Amino acid sequence: MKIMVTGAAGFIGAKLCQLLLDRGDSVIGVDNLNDYYDVRLKCSRLELFESHTAFELQTIDISDREAMSLLFSQYGFDVVVNLAAQAGVRYSIENPATYIDTNLVGFGNILEGCRASGVKHLVYASSSSVYGANTRLPFSEHMDVDHPLSLYGATKRANELMAHVYSHLFALPSTGLRFFTVYGPWGRPDMALFKFTRGILAGEPIPIYGHGQMIRDFTYIDDIVRGVIEVMDRVPPASISWSGTDPDPAAGAGPFRLYNIGNSRPVELLRYIEVLEECLGKKAIKQMLPMQDGDVRATNADVSNLERDTGYRPTTPVEIGIRQFVDWYSDYYQLRDYGRSVSDQSRQI
C-alpha cells in the first residue's frame, strides 16, 4: 500500500514507518522537524530507515493548508496515519496556540485531504487524556468523555468529533486510537521515563507528582505500533446497528470507530521507578510533589473491543520494557556505565 505517516520523525511514527517498510509498503513520511525537543533525536530516528527506496520524507507542517492540499493531490494514498500532534499535557497550559494550530487546524487539513483524494482509511492518534475527569476504571470507549482536564485532551477529543463528521457526511472510514502512556526506546525527552533516567544518573532529585500515588497504564512502543498496524488493515464498516436513540460514543452510523490501545495492566508510579532503579543499579532521589494541573490520578485501558475486532493483545510488562529503554539509552548516549556525569549527558540531550 501507499501510506502517509505524519509525525514520521516522532517516537511512534518512526517505529511505524520502520515496520511498514519492512513489510513492503511504500511510505511517505510527513514531519516539520520542529524544535519542541532535540531535533537531533528526530533525525537519528529517521536515519534508521530514510535511505529505504520505498520511503520519502516531506518536511511539511500539517497546519499548512496549501502544502497539505498539494501533497494529497500528488499522491494517491491508500491509508493515512496521522501521528503528528503537539504532545504534552503540561505544555498545553503554557502554549495553547501551538495545540490549536497543529492538533485542530492541522487535523482539519488531514481530513479535507482524505476526503478530496478518496483515501480508503484514516487512522489517527487520540489519547487517554480524553477521559479527563472520569474516575471509573477501567476506561471504556463507551464512556462519556466530554469533561477534559487539559487543552491537549480537549484537542484530541475534538479530533474524534471532527472525524465522526467526515465519516457521517462523506463516508470517510476513520479509526481513532486512544494511546495510553507509551514508553520505550527512542522515546521523547519530555516523557517521564526519559526524565527519570537522566535525573537518576545525574544524582539529581526526580520530581514525583501526586506524591507517587499516581497509576498509569504504561504501554510499550512495540505493542502500540503492532496495534496500529492491525487497525490500519481493518477498514471499519458502517454500523447498521448504531442508534441515535441510544448512541454509542465508540462508533457511528458511518464507517467510524474509536479504540483504546493500552497495556491494560496499570502500574503504580513508584513501582515504575523501582524497576528503573533496578535496571540502572542506582537509587533515585525522590522529590514528592502534589498533582499538577491537567493531570489525572489513574488510567487503565479496557482494550476488549480492540482485542475482539483485531486480535490485539499487549505482551510486554514494564520489567522488560524499561530494561529495553535503559539499554537503548546507554547505547544512544554512549554511556560506558550508568554513572556518567550530568554535564556529559546534558551536552547530548
- Of the candidates 239, 133, 223, 122, which has an alpha carbon nearest to the alpha carbon of residue 182? 223
- Of the candidates 320, 319, 226, 219, which has an alpha carbon nearest to the alpha carbon of residue 266? 219
How do beta strands 215-216 and 267-268 pair?
antiparallel
Residues 97 and 75: their CA atoms lie apart, in Å, by: 30
Q: Is 216 helix (H, G, I), strand (E, B) or coil?
A: strand
Task: Tell me the C-alpha to C-alpha distance, in Å, between residue 54 and each of 27, 57, 207, 331.
Answer: 6, 10, 43, 28
Residues 3 and 21: their CA atoms lie apart, in Å, by: 10
One-letter amino acid for residue 220 of the chain = Y
Residue 347, C-alpha cell as written in the block: 551536552
* Residues belonging to the active site: 152
- Which residues contact residue 317 at a Cβ distance below 8 angstroms, ignoring those fewer than 6 apart? 265
Task: Quickly list DSSP for 86-116.
Answer: ---TTHHHH-HHHHIIIIIIIHHHHHHHHHH
Calculate ∠ Cα 298-212-217, nearest 5°. 35
In the chain, beta strands by DSSP E: 2-6, 26-30, 55-58, 79-82, 121-127, 174-179, 182-183, 205-208, 215-216, 219-220, 256-261, 267-268, 285-288
CB atoms under 10 Å from CB of 105, counted, come to 14
CB atoms under 10 Å from CB of 311, counted, come to 10
Calculate ∠ Cα 162-163-164, nearest 5°. 90
Residues 203 and 218: their CA atoms lie apart, in Å, by: 25
